[in-house]
Amino acid sequence: MLFPTVTFALFFFIVLPTSWILMPTRERWKIFMLAASYFFYGYWNWHFVFLLAVSTVVNQLLARTIHATDVERRRRAVLTLTIVFNLGILLYFKYADFFVSSSRDVLDTFGIDAGNSLVNIALPVGISFFTFQALSYVIDVYRRDFEPGSLINFATYLSFFPHVVAGPIVRGSEFMPQIDEPKDPRRIDATRAFFLIFIGLFKKVVIANYLATEIVDQVFASPGRHTPLELLVGVYAYAVQIYADFSGYTDMAIGLALLLGFRFPLNFDSPYTATSIQDFWRRWHMTLSRWLRDYLYIPLGGNRRGDRATYRNLMLTMILGGLWHGAAWTFVIWGAIHGVAQSVEHWRRTVRERRGLPDPPDTAARRWTQRIVTFNIVCLAWIFFRAESIQVAFDYLFRMLNPTEWFQGGSSLVTFGVLLAIFIGIAGQFVPRAFTARLMAGFSRLSPVAMGAVLGVVLMVINTLGPRGVAPFIYFQF
């Protein structure tokens, strides 16, 4: 069930008032919200509802066991079992075919015929997101940062439909206390909620879907049939597409949760304004970034054990972060590019500090140079993220960088509409927050009739400008 569809609108128009009606009787509300969330999740494939239920029950049992145990050795053993269980689910459903095909390729290099069979396991939608949330919940209980809640509270948290399939990755300590908080529908920030929902719709339907159909899907399907200019613009178009697609989903998820009385953490903060790769990861998919930092990078040692260990930890974190996105070597390379870039940035800072050199002056020219360099490194990595294989990615790069091809043939895919969509997608990230705040404040002062009229006009514009049909969100496959 996609957010920008009539089906979801009907679903939400039933869930929203029913949720507020049942809110005073909290146990009934939990049962209703759990049922609604399971219906939402099972709409794609009802079989995987059982996987979500099993993950919920097992992780709650393990968290309770850890909390009730004082012997550190036993607590650590149960934590290890938790990690094995959750990663085992991911490895089976998400990476079985990848391991089989990679092993077959290795055997083929030694002349051993391993056949062409694959496991062909269907990937449950959102499995990476709810598995990471379950892991963070149990690990936080192990660290005694958070006490486990009731089974129904945990089940509601893990399956809550605004975030179950594509995040943001909300921690149990952030969400579960909100379940039992008193809520007043009159105090809901509906202005911000509707603003986020309609901004998200615009990003997804108008920007992301348009760029996908007009240029991105075509150039990545067959790079050899397109000019270097089309390929170059196609990379920038994909950078905007994936940002508009994923941040659009997140905006809608945060807005929908807000209408239901729940607050989600911010997941994007103008990532293409970043002045370094490290800064980019402070702004892009922020809930995944802090998950990787708190549950992988820091436990590995972070930057506390010398430069070599820091480079190793950065590379491991980013490569595993790449594999989290998908079971393919292209995602490994994507993560490695980000890992190498962050390692180089760390090395440069270390050298400057050891030599006692002051930080370079923070001028506008320097900031813009850093932004341009960072953005192009990110776009280079996006080629591997989007390409169907390593071979396609390198074919794309070599043709795009081939000087003999630059002035041959036309570039029919590079249209005014494509360039305008790219410009809006990037320039929109430089809009001052104060302007957005004033815009929302002005909207909040309108009468209900005027608000409805504005939202209706915006919806009509989105429907007019967007391509026919709505493609699934990119991050649903992760």
Which has more confidence, 112 or 344? 344
Q: Which of 187, 216, 236 is the last residue of a domain?
A: 187
Residues 385, 469 within the same domain? yes
Give the sign of the dihedral formed by CA 177, CA 179, CA 182, CA 188.
positive
Report yes or no on 42 lying in a domain. Answer: yes
CA distance 348 to 77: 40
Report yes or no on 176 lying in a domain. Answer: yes
Among 15-19, 86-90, 312-316, 357-361, where is mean pLDDT lowest? 357-361
Number of domains present in the structure of the chain: 2
CA distance 299 to 289: 14
Report yes or no on 172 lying in a domain. Answer: yes
121 pLDDT band, cuts 50/70/90, is low
The pLDDT of 140-156, averaged and rounded, is 94
The pLDDT of 58-62, averaged and rounded, is 96
47 pLDDT band, cuts 50/70/90, is confident
Tokens at 207, concatenated: 């920007």
Looking at mean pLDDT, say which of 122-131, 177-186, 412-421 comes out highest.
Answer: 412-421
Residues 181, 196 within the same domain? no
The pLDDT of 317-325, averaged and rounded, is 91
Residues 254, 273 within the same domain? yes
Report yes or no on 454 lying in a domain. Answer: yes
Report yes or no on 379 lying in a domain. Answer: yes
Residue 118 pLDDT greater than 90, yes or no: no
Residue 108 pLDDT greater than 80, yes or no: no
Residues 219, 164 within the same domain? no
Listed in sequence order, the DSSP H helices in 46-71 are: 49-68
Out of 226, 325, 338, 346, which one is annotated catalytic?
A: 325
With a pLDDT cut of 90, the percent of the chain lying above it is: 61
pLDDT, tens only, 230-266: 999 999 999 999 999 999 999 999 999 999 999 999 9
Residues 96, 231 within the same domain? no
pLDDT for 306 equals 83
CA distance 275 to 407: 32
CA distance 467 to 462: 9
Residues 180, 311 within the same domain? no
Among 3-12, 56-65, 399-408, where is mean pLDDT lowest? 399-408
Report yes or no on 54 lying in a domain. Answer: yes
Q: Which of 168, 187, 206 is the last residue of a domain?
A: 187
Domain, as residue range, for 414: 190-477
Residues 136, 77 within the same domain? yes
pLDDT for 358 equals 83
Among 58-72, 131-145, 436-450, where is mean pLDDT lowest? 436-450
CA distance 90 to 84: 10
pLDDT for 157 equals 95
Asked about 325 being catalytic, the answer comes back as yes
Residues 46, 163 within the same domain? yes
Q: In terms of C-beta distances under 8 Å and separation of at least 24 residues, what long-range contacts does 290-293 make, across chains too? A: 291/132, 291/136, 291/169, 292/317, 292/320, 292/321, 293/317
pLDDT, tens only, 365-390: 999 999 999 999 999 999 999 999 99
Burial class (CB in 10 A: 0-12, 13-18, 19+), 60: buried
The pLDDT of 199-211, averaged and rounded, is 91
Residues 236, 249 within the same domain? yes
Residues 78, 118 within the same domain? yes
4 pLDDT band, cuts 50/70/90, is confident
pLDDT for 114 equals 53
Q: Which of 123, 158, 187 is the last residue of a domain?
A: 187
Mean pLDDT of the residues in the chain: 88
Residues 406, 349 within the same domain? yes
Residues 140, 18 within the same domain? yes
Report yes or no on 246 lying in a domain. Answer: yes
Report yes or no on 1 lying in a domain. Answer: no
CA distance 292 to 128: 13
The pLDDT of 409-415, averaged and rounded, is 79
DSSP string for 394-428 = HHHHHHHT-GGGTTSS--TT--HHHHHHHHHHHHG
